[in-house]
Chains A and B, each alone.
Chain A
């Protein structure tokens, strides 16, 4: 099993969700996060007062899928989240040791 963690632009969340749904991935955890990579922050001005926005708003989407499907899921997320500009985000893939469905104690891929 692989855990796929994608940090994407907030406005791409719906497209990513749709893309995942289209390939049959329904389960995911979504959180509102802030951060930056190479994009760094930028200056914003309101009424003459400049303020530096260092950490930019992003959305983190996490899901665990069968290893065999990991590539397909990563491709789907990347295609949906891409604008081609700096700040599109990143996708991380981790190995997962086990999964347990708390309700009935199912384990491994059966619990996904």
Chain B
């Protein structure tokens, strides 16, 4: 596309020249409208006036009515008649009038209506009523037009609510067609969110507004954005020679060379200006809709809304389903208030009122200054991301500019364009859609995605995953070795500033750095080749990590464009996850540490599964060495600490029959709820058992002396000097939480091939207190030795892996058969 195309006919050449020499489009458009006014008046006098001396008036409507006629827009006119004419002479005259207009280069788009018709609500043709909001008289029977001028305002006042509702519905449908986002790489500047139509909607809503209510003057506030958008549309029309509204890649390349673009600029930079401008328009349109819509009363809905006002707090009040600040001035002195508003949205699904959004926007500089220092922002974000309406909250964080204010690095990808054929959105929008794709899995109804939605219930921290997604492409605007590394590097700075604990930082860094691993394996590796599974297992490190990576990859692909996650890719990704999962489970028993370099820790580590090194850092290994020393001196090394709301127990002792069952029994006897556990032994027959458990009755928290008692009980259980069974009998078993129908059907799976010497038993079941003890008791009573254990519990689902032996050999088929029955009975108890 180039600026040198011949001008179209009609009153354009002069305007074109003025536009390309830097003329202000906002000034040019009314001039074009005025010249078209003249042409229509002349044509009317010549062709219609002789036939319609009265009984017909011509009014300009739509964009022409607003006197902002773009170079190749349709020229909308209303032919107002006092009655529908069947007269042949009249029809011929009208036909000549229209034909001559087209011959003269005017794309006339007309409709013929009586005053009566104009003042009726046509449910199937809202366009007529809306276009009349912008009408103005051009020529013809002024008396007839006067009738319209008198009746129209009364009609609009009477039908205000219906018109507003219709307009809002239309606007929402239109936004929906463009996935509710301004961030399309080739945007339609008229119809897409943030386009011209949104400006019109703001104008129409102002005209439909009850005159007694005062609205913010959004259009004056958007003067710069309006001029910017008008210039783009003029350019597209002039260069294409037609009503072209899609800002395609080739037009973007050319437009940046134009004086009005402020260039020459790199395309990506100019497009970012476009997106930021479109975002402001889109936001104003949404606010205008919100303000107007909430003013409309409606029966049942109103009652429900009134009920929701009960959710109000001392600082946030709920009115008409919207959040208002009781004391908006405090945003400046208490910048965290903005985040509490977003948290309220995340919890209840209620959005801030337009006024609240505007106040937050005005307070952004103060909020940014506050969060420029190290602050515990992560606490806010973690809570927001864990709540049911997290995605709605995330959108508000982004749309209000709050996300950029609390995390300025986010602005590096705001409106940032990566131009390729696959990505449809800018990097920030892609990131949000990735988060949305993930969070939508929580309410997934699609059978094909069920495997991934189940996987989401099996990860420990959804907030960490959402946060890793927010960071995963944040380094895309930086030139570096790979964007994953740049994102991880930038992410580390952010995570330190927002005071995320080191353990979580390391995990997020890992997810960001490795977020492309599964997709690259999916596209570039032979999944049937054993080395592929081994490489994947080495990169993922643990089954827990692999779950996170699989979900991240699922969401990342889904966020590329609406059709990117095909059923084919869904299957391929699941295959990659499955082979990695199988390999990591197999490795638990088969992949052991051989660290014979003579150091004391290598002596201790020798024979542990490799997983041990992937899940423990140097400090933890050092602490385990101390526990080993205690074990050598006293028979058992026991450490019990509270970390992040849960308790962690580590036990090191020499292996003996029923050991695992005894320790688990001691914890269960205290009413503790084991959520994670690992057990494995080294070459010296020393066992390392670690447990993460919750204390549902807050026994340890409220009775500090119980901590010591539990530690000593565990110690005795580990050394075999305590009869755990007796202790458990004294404790009442809690009532079964659910009926059989509601409970997860247990899945029990044996694999004799996973290891050379042990049998893998995998159990997925509904979790309950004491479940692990019951499993361990079954193993002990059956004479099975527990070689390796990996227990995880997420959302009441126990995900347990055991490697069992009997007298140093694998379980026979018959033993498996009997064991399966007994485990099933335990699961259903």
Contact = CB atoms under 8 A, between A and B. Distances in A.
B762 A48 contact: yes
Contacts of A87: 528
A48 B747 contact: yes
A11 B524 contact: yes
A34 B527 contact: no
Contacts of A10: 522-523, 572
A57 B571 contact: yes
Given A10-B572, A32-B569, A34-B568, A46 B526 contact: no
Interface residues of A, number: 18
24 contacts: A9-B526, A10-B522, A10-B523, A10-B572, A11-B523, A11-B524, A11-B525, A11-B527, A14-B524, A34-B568, A44-B575, A44-B578, A45-B582, A46-B578, A46-B581, A47-B747, A47-B749, A47-B762, A47-B764, A48-B747, A48-B750, A49-B747, A57-B571, A85-B528
B566 interface: yes
A102 to B, nearest CB: 18
A13 interface: yes
A9 B762 CA distance: 32
A14 B581 CA distance: 26
Nearest to A48: B749
Contacts of B593: none
A46 B501 CA distance: 34
Nearest to B569: A32
A83 interface: yes
A33 B527 CA distance: 16
Top 3 A-B residue pairs of the complex, sorted by shortest distance between their CB atoms: A48-B749, A32-B568, A48-B747
B748 interface: yes
Contacts of A14: 523-524
A51 to B, nearest CB: 10
Interface of B: 522-528, 566, 568-569, 571-572, 575, 578, 581-582, 747-750, 762, 764
Given A48-B750, A49-B749, 9 more contacts: A9-B526, A11-B524, A11-B526, A14-B523, A32-B568, A45-B749, A48-B748, A57-B572, A83-B526
A48 B581 CA distance: 13
A10 B566 CA distance: 14
Interface string A24-68: 000000001110000000001111110000000100000000000
Contacts of A9: 526
A47 B797 CA distance: 13
Nearest to A34: B568
A57 B748 CA distance: 29
A10 B571 CA distance: 12
Nearest to A86: B528
A87 B578 CA distance: 20
B523 A13 contact: yes
Interface of A: 9-11, 13-14, 32-34, 44-49, 57, 83, 85, 87
Contacts of B750: 48
B104 to A, nearest CB: 32
Contacts of A45: 582, 749
A49 B450 CA distance: 15
Nearest to B525: A11
Contacts of B581: 46
Contacts of A83: 526
Contacts of A11: 523-527
Contacts of B572: 10, 57
A27 to B, nearest CB: 14
Nearest to B571: A57
A67 B44 CA distance: 65
Nearest to A87: B528
Nearest to B568: A32
Contacts of B527: 11
Contacts of B526: 9, 11, 83
A96 B80 CA distance: 60
Contacts of B528: 85, 87
A33 B762 CA distance: 34
Nearest to B578: A46
Nearest to B527: A11
A112 B316 CA distance: 66
B151 to A, nearest CB: 53
Contacts of A13: 523
Contacts of A44: 575, 578
A11 B582 CA distance: 20
Contacts of A47: 747, 749, 762, 764
Nearest to B572: A57
A72 to B, nearest CB: 25
A57 B568 contact: yes
Nearest to B526: A11
A16 to B, nearest CB: 12
B64 to A, nearest CB: 35
Contacts of A33: 568
B578 A32 contact: no
A9 B525 CA distance: 10
A32 B524 contact: no
Contacts of B524: 11, 14
Contacts of A46: 578, 581
B566 A32 contact: yes
A8 to B, nearest CB: 12
A108 B164 CA distance: 58
A35 to B, nearest CB: 11
A10 B526 CA distance: 8
Query: Which of B568, B569, B747: most chain A CB closer than 10 A?
Result: B568
B696 to A, nearest CB: 27
